[in-house]
């Protein structure tokens, strides 16, 4: 029963004074039999009133408005969480029976949302790969693990080449990205196979570190397995998401689970920084929220920042490296 203390700090700084900053936060960890929230402290600049509600997908969501003029907005969330190991699927039912059970879900709410593919230019190519890689006779559980491994092996983990605004077309061309990109590609693959798949936002808290995405916000996927329920699978680390993964929210994609997003009145120039630290029961800490690392804004106001970290910029960097190598 691991116990984690997680601090998540979001800081907006503005080029000039702004006002009426209206924000939506999804920073309240899911509470169920596999995850207990022992304590949650939320501190926001100006101490605005936070109204909370449960959204369509069962997530607790907060809304607040900071009306005073300000040049900085800081949202600090500090939670103490216990997680419990979730038993893995026994996978005893015949594969054909399990696939038939999944086929019946395509007309049932809420699984419809988690079976709908997002169209992008490479979807036909992706469909061809999925059909070619699929192992005949495998159960949905075995298939989900297989394609988790496929994404892990065939997509490169590179920080900074994508943003929260990056579309599937760009991720598919790049064959690289970070956790949210890996999760989105895996969900597309599973949905093409008729396996309901949903996006999960949260934190990864490995006992001794060394995993991609630790000390930061993290994302993975959940696949619906017959006679079991939702199984967390992390293609960024090619593992099952269990007691080392703390869940904040679930949804169709990142936009349903964004930890912080909002609008304000004022000039568009601003910067967003995010820092996450995880402290274990034995005192070990990963990440340093007091030294917040640059992140990307939830809106498109910093267009130049997005452009410099895009697929095109990555390709330009590769071209320059190749040219430099040829001159040596």
The DSSP call for residue 214 is: B
Q: Is 179 helix (H, G, I), strand (E, B) or coil?
A: helix
Give CA separation, 30 vs 71, 121, 162, 233, 265, in Å.
Answer: 32, 35, 27, 17, 32
Per-residue pLDDT band for 306 (boundaries 50, 70, 90) equals very low
CA distance 255 to 271: 20
Query: What pLDDT, in 10s, does the model give residues 82-141?
Result: 999 999 999 999 999 999 999 999 999 999 999 998 889 999 999 999 999 999 999 999
**pLDDT at position 90:** 95
- Given CA atoms 115, 119, 122, 128 in this order, what sign does their dihedral have? positive
pLDDT in tens, 4-27: 999 999 999 999 999 999 999 999
Predicted local confidence at residue 279, as pLDDT: 87
- Please count the other Cβ atoms lying within 10 Å of the Cβ belonging to residue 70: 19
- 256-283 burial by CB neighbour count: b if 16+ within 10 A, else e? bbbbbebebebeeebbbbbbbbbbbeee
Cα separation, 154 vs 160, in Å, equals 18
DSSP 270-320: EEEEEEEEEEETTS-EE--TTSPEE---SSSS-HHHHHHTSHHHHHHHHHH
- 3-state SS assignment for residue 175: coil
The residue assigned the tokens 């936070």 is: 50
Query: What are the tens digits of pLDDT across the range 176-229?
Result: 999 999 999 999 999 999 999 999 999 998 765 568 867 668 999 999 999 999
Is it the case that residue 299 has pLDDT exceeding 70? no
DSSP 8-state symbol, 45: T
Write down all domains in the chain, each with its CATH number in brackets. Answer: 3-83+259-291 (2.60.40.2250), 95-253 (3.10.620.30)
Burial zone of 299 (CB within 10 Å; 0-12 exposed, 13-18 middle, 19+ buried): middle
pTM, full prediction: 0.86
Instruction: Supply the DSSP string of 86-134, one letter for each residue.
Output: PPPP---S-HHHHHHHHHGGGGSTTTTTTTPPPP-TTHHHHHHHHHHHP
| pLDDT on residue 285 | 59
**pLDDT for position 208:** 58
Residue 25: C-alpha distances to residues 31, 43, 101, 166, 211 (Å): 17, 12, 36, 21, 26
Determine the 3-state secondary structure of 164 from DSSP. Answer: coil
């Amino acid at each position: 029963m691991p116990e984690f203390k997680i601090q998540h700090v979001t800081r907006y700084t503005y080029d000039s004074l702004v006002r009426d900053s209206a924000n939506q936060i999804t920073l309240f960890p899911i509470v169920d039999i596999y995850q207990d929230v022992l304590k949650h402290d939320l501190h926001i600049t100006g101490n605005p009133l936070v109204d909370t509600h449960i959204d369509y997908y069962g997530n607790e969501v907060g809304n607040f408005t900071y009306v005073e003029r300000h040049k900085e907005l800081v949202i600090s969330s500090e939670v103490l969480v216990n997680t419990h190991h979730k038993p893995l699927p026994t996978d005893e039912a015949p594969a054909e029976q399990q696939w038939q059970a999944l086929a019946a879900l395509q007309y049932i709410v809420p699984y419809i949302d988690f079976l709908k593919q997002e169209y992008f230019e490479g979807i036909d190519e992706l469909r061809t790969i999925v059909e070619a890689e699929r192992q005949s006779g495998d159960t949905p559980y075995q298939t989900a693990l297989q394609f988790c491994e496929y994404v892990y092996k065939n997509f490169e983990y590179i920080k900074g080449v994508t943003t929260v605004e990056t579309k599937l077309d760009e991720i598919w061309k790049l064959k690289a990205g970070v956790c949210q990109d890996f999760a989105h590609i895996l969900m597309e693959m599973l949905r093409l196979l008729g396996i309901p798949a949903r996006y999960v936002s949260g934190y990864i808290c490995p006992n001794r570190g060394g995993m991609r995405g630790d000390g930061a916000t993290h994302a993975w996927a959940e696949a619906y397995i017959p006679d079991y329920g939702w199984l967390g699978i992390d293609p960024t680390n090619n593992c099952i998401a269990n007691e080392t993964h703390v869940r904040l929210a679930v949804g169709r994609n990142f936009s349903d689970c964004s930890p912080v997003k909002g609008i304000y009145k004022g000039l568009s120039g601003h910067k967003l920084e995010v820092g996450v630290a995880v402290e274990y029961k034995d005192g070990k800490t990963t990440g340093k929220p007091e030294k917040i690392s640059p992140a990307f804004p939830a809106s498109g106001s910093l267009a130049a920042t997005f452009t410099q970290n895009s697929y095109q910029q990555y390709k330009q960097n590769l071209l320059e490296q190749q040219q430099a190598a040829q001159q040596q």
